[in-house]
Amino acid sequence: MKKLLMTLVVLVTSSVLFACGEKAEFKRIKKYSITTELATSTTSQEVTEKDKFKKQYATVFEDYQKIADEAENYQQGDDIDFYHLSNQLHSPIHMASIENTLISLGDLVYAFYDLDQNGQFEMLVGSNQRDGSVYPKGFYYLKNGTPTLLAESYIGSASARGSHTIFTDGTILSVSWSPGMGDAEGTLYQLQEDSSEAVVIEERDDFKIPGSALAPLFGKTDEMILNLESLDWQRFELEQRSQDEAVSYQVFPEEMLGSWQGISSDFGKVNVEVFQDGRVISDIERSSLRETILVESIEEVGFNTYRHKLSSPNGNRPLVSVFQLGGAGIKYDFGFKLEDETLTILIWSVALNDDFDYTNPLEMNLILKRE
């Protein structure tokens, strides 16, 4: 399963580079030490349960602080060696998950919960969403007393996605898949009463996403899924200036900012939020993930028609992942048309040695209207 969690991929979420000469200014990340916090938050009184759990999972907090220490460089558009950074962590995490974290540091939260009711609490890491829900990012448990990452969720490139589902019977389902073909692999783990290494109780690779009901596929029911909103979530002690305060440039035209909605024949209802700093957040009905990308710049290639550039090492892809692309000897470019309160996601395709004809996009497109 390790290969599922550490697959080297080109990341979907991209570094925040800037279309203009000036770069945004951000507050320096406040250094956070779990040891310091415990020393200052407790006196001669008995250490609280939460403080005890935080001390047990101190290395997890240290890992996320190490990631946060790269935020200033990341936001200035500097290249980050995510593979090297991951291997510096106590519990290496997927490179895409690192970049997802850098994008949304201010939304990072954690909770402790005794999933298998053996008296040993596990640690859940998540990200607050706009609708008030929590997106699960990572599940940690104490393997023989050592904090260990068991499963995580991430938004990678067009060829990598990962998610996990936590069940109230002490099992955790970790799934990875390619959104292009939808081919998926899943592993179901069982926590052990003696807090030893979690046991793999089922593995399978005969299903697709979207298209498969994961809980029944692994012998579970939706009623067994842990209600994440019921947990006592706390924010990480990582301080950063808000996006609105930090942005001193604008990537997209003013009339493109805000909420859009459309229908994909393959993926159902699509909700898209466009921000001035280049962020595009997509909620896709038949996908289990909320996707974020960052656009570095756009170039006008026709009347109200633009191609976009995503910063390295993101690669090239549409603003919204609802297309299945492929084929040998073909190259693609991606963009959009903005006209009459309609945002159309466009794709251009030509042979490898040909130039793009931006007057002739593919017929496959996604039309979005103002929400």
Is residue 30 scored above 90 in pLDDT? Answer: no
DSSP symbols for 171-203: EEEEEEE-TTT-EEEEEEEE--TT--PPEEEEE
Q: How many CA atoms lie within 13 A of 32 on its CB side?
A: 23
pLDDT score, position 230: 93
- At a CB cut-off of 8 Å and minimum separation 6, what does 51 contact? 38, 41, 42
Strand-by-strand arrangement of the 108-113 sheet: 146-152, 134-143, 122-128, 108-113, 234-235
First-to-last alpha carbon distance for the chain, in angstroms, is 40
Least confident of 72-76, 175-179, 185-189, 333-337: 72-76
Tens-digit pLDDT profile for residues 50-86: 889 999 999 999 899 888 888 877 777 777 888 888 8
| Domain layout of the chain by residue ranges | 2-235, 250-370
Q: Model pTM?
A: 0.56
Residue 221 in tokens: 């029911």
Is residue 35 scored above 80 in pLDDT? Answer: no
Chain-wide mean pLDDT for the chain? 79
Residue 263, Ramachandran bin (φ over 0: left; ψ between -120 and 50: alpha; else beta): beta
How large is the average pLDDT for residues 265-285? 83
pLDDT score, position 7: 34
Specify the residue for token string 């929590």: 134
Rg for the chain, CA atoms, rounded:
21
Tens-digit pLDDT profile for residues 116-125: 999 999 999 9
4-18, 158-172, 183-197: range with highest mean pLDDT: 183-197
pLDDT score, position 87: 83
How large is the average pLDDT for residues 270-282? 84
Domain 250-370, CATH: 2.40.128
Q: Which residue has the higher pLDDT, 249 or 16?
A: 249
Beta bridge partners of 155: 161
Least confident of 89-103, 164-178, 231-245, 306-320: 231-245
